[in-house]
Amino acid sequence: MAGFRARSTSGEPAKGRPGQKGTAGYRRRSESHRKEHEDKRSARGSGDRVRDVIFGVLRQVSAQDAYANLVLPGALKSAGLSGRDAAFATELTYGTLRARGLLDAVIAEAAGRPVGKIDETVLDALRLGAYQILRTRVDDHAAVNTTVELVKANGEEKAAGFTNGVLRRITRSSPQEWLDTVTAGAEPLAALALRHAHPLWVAEVFNGALGGTTESPAEELEAALDADDQRPQVHLAARPGQISAEELALVTGGEEGRWSPYAVYLPEGDPGTLEPVQEGLASVQDEGSLLIALALLRAAVDGDRGRWLDLCAGPGGKTAFLASWAMGDGARVDAVEPAEHRAELVRTATRGLPVTVHVGDGRELSGIQGLDVPAGDRPGYDRVLVDAPCTGLGALRRRPEARWRKDAADVAPLVSLQRDLLRSALAATAPGGVTVYSTCSPHPAETTEVVRAVAEETGAVIEDATALFPELTGVDGPFVQLWPHRHGTDAMFFAVLRRPVPTATG
């Protein structure tokens, strides 16, 4: 399923439908008609307000490459959904998007045709219906009927019978039977990937990072894929010096984290409505991110002058955590972010904290005014964080549509950027200072290979990052690779590098 691509929307004529010549004039008229048709459908609705919202988001994700986490909150608010209705809508939206590849395999089998030959609007409805049948406790009858009504309400009345037939066919077999059917004859790794709704290439990356091979998948691979296929728990970060994790847990009804003294786990609910988050005392942040920031703070530095640098600062979560600590230590943080709109997010997140935000390219620090890069009597920064842009394979569970949009070809350009950023960070680090390199990816090409290559090239010393977290289990050192199935965090990676102090000669 990793190679599946959605049906083209390039305007090519559909087979068996005469009169569609593909001309610009026809496309303009067709687009105008389609928009008018969609406006009428939207006004009508299916009679199920919750599923109308879900389906609207699914269509935006499929047709407009929207991100569910950005459009769903507004859709819920516009529809006046809250509480259990909002939670139900969120579960069905994210779950349907997360499981797309597996759902498509089942739908294709039940429909007797490739999903690429099914109208995209109908296909999104089928995905929603199939998800409810296969992965929720929603009554089969309700799942089928509400999906058929969605299809009718969205201008596909002629496909109602087809939709009904496909979904009823799915209800006749158990979820386990469908898993067995769609993975029959597949290689072990491909079968595991499909069972847990991952593209094959992503499963291959996880397998390699866990020490497995194609012939002999890693023992932990299924647990890793399964954890990545589950709805993630919301983590909060208590801001140092402003609120403790114990206080935050009491106020929010959460539970203190396992690994970071600043983490709190939320059982459920919208964290944006919590008073500590609204007041800036806490933020929504995976516990793994806190460990990365703590690694930078805990690493020993020769003569810390309180000059810290966050080289890839947007959207500002780690920067704010570091700056909260810096305030108590009398330190300052320079935050570099190339995109102005993300730099503004950093300014918002760090308002009132000792942070200066700079808009510029982290690979060319000499071109950014006001930075403490080594020059003359300026030794550079004592602590530098490089939370590098990456494939994001370690946070797929939090971005439900992402696994089906990414491609193995994305890796190489990112690796080149990551190496350049790490070189730049080490060049900006004072002798005796430390650089922490991190990614939200377990891909060895983005993690250990980047660190080892740049360390060898620059002479930086790789420190044992695990020594900073003696309570952290399931890590081998000198690097730290976190995993959802081991640690409950995203699959984040970090390494600590020290710039050596030159030895005197003569």
Q: pLDDT confidence of 44, banded at 50, 70, 90?
A: low
CA–CA–CA angle 383, 387, 391 (5° rounding) = 165
Q: Where do the H-state alpha helices sit in 253-299? A: 275-278, 287-298
- In this predicted structure, the answer to whether residue 215 has a pLDDT above a threshold of 80 is yes
- Per-residue pLDDT tens digits for 67-120: 999 999 999 999 999 999 999 999 999 999 999 999 999 999 999 999 999 999
Q: Are 342 and 314 in contact (CB under 8 A)?
A: yes
Answer for the pair 147, 123: CB distance below 8 angstroms, yes or no: no
Lowest average pLDDT, out of 32-46, 109-123, 212-226, goes to 32-46
3-state secondary structure of 147: helix
Contact 485, 226 (CB under 8 A): yes
Q: 10 Å Cβ neighbour count for 382?
A: 23
Q: Mean pLDDT, to the nearest integer, of 195-223? A: 96
What architecture is domain 234-284? 2-Layer Sandwich (3.30)
Residue 191 above 70 pLDDT?
Answer: yes
pLDDT of residue 300 exceeding 90, the answer is yes
Find all residues with CB under 8 Å of 28, minimum gap 6, and list them: none
Could you say which of 3.90.320.10, 3.40.50.720, 3.10.310.70, 3.40.50.150 is the CATH number of the domain covering 287-498? 3.40.50.150
| Verdict on whether the full-model pTM lies above 0.85 | yes
What pLDDT score was predicted for residue 175? 97
pLDDT above 70 for 228: yes
Position 292 confidence tier, pLDDT thresholds 50, 70, 90: very high
Task: Provide the H-helix boundaries in 410-469.
Answer: 411-428, 448-458
HSE-CB of 156 using CA atoms within 13 angstroms: 22
Rounded percentage of the chain residues whose pLDDT exceeds 70: 91
Asked if residue 5 has pLDDT above 60, the reply is no
Dihedral sign of CA atoms 485, 487, 492, 495 in order: negative
Does residue 49 surpass a pLDDT of 60? yes
Any idea which of 153-167, 284-298, 343-357, 367-381 has the lowest mean pLDDT? 367-381
In angstroms, rounded to a whole number, what is the distance separating the alpha carbons of residues 425 and 173?
Answer: 56
CATH superfamily of 24-176: NusB-like (1.10.940.10)
Return the closest-CA partner of residue 492 out of 421, 386, 395. 395
The predicted pLDDT at position 505 comes to 60
For residue range 384-400, list pLDDT tens digits in order: 999 999 999 999 999 99
Whether the Cβ atoms of residue 498 and residue 463 lie closer than 8 Å to each other: yes
Q: What is the mean pLDDT of residues 408-423?
A: 98
Would you say residue 319 has pLDDT above 70?
A: yes
Q: Has residue 414 got a pLDDT over 80?
A: yes
Q: Which are the catalytic amino acids?
A: 440
Tell whether the model's pLDDT for residue 470 goes beyond 90: yes
pLDDT score recorded for residue 45: 77
Banded pLDDT at 443 (limits 50, 70, 90) = very high
Confidence tier at 376 by pLDDT (50, 70, 90): confident
Q: Domain limits of the chain?
A: 24-176, 185-228, 234-284, 287-498
Binding site: what residues are annotated? 312-318, 337, 361, 387
CA distances from 68 to 45, 91, 98, 295, 306 (A): 20, 12, 11, 32, 40
Residues near 432 by beta carbon (within 8 Å), at least 6 away in sequence: 301, 302, 303, 498, 499, 500, 501
Residue where the block lists tokens 């299916």: 46
Quickly state the pLDDT bin for 502 (edges 50, 70, 90). confident
Within this chain, domains 24-176 and 287-498 share the same CATH topology:
no
Show binding-site residues for S-adenosyl-L-methionine. 312-318, 337, 361, 387
Predicted confidence band of residue 429 (pLDDT cuts 50, 70, 90): very high
Query: What pLDDT, on a 0 to 100 scale, did the predictor assign at position 43?
Result: 45
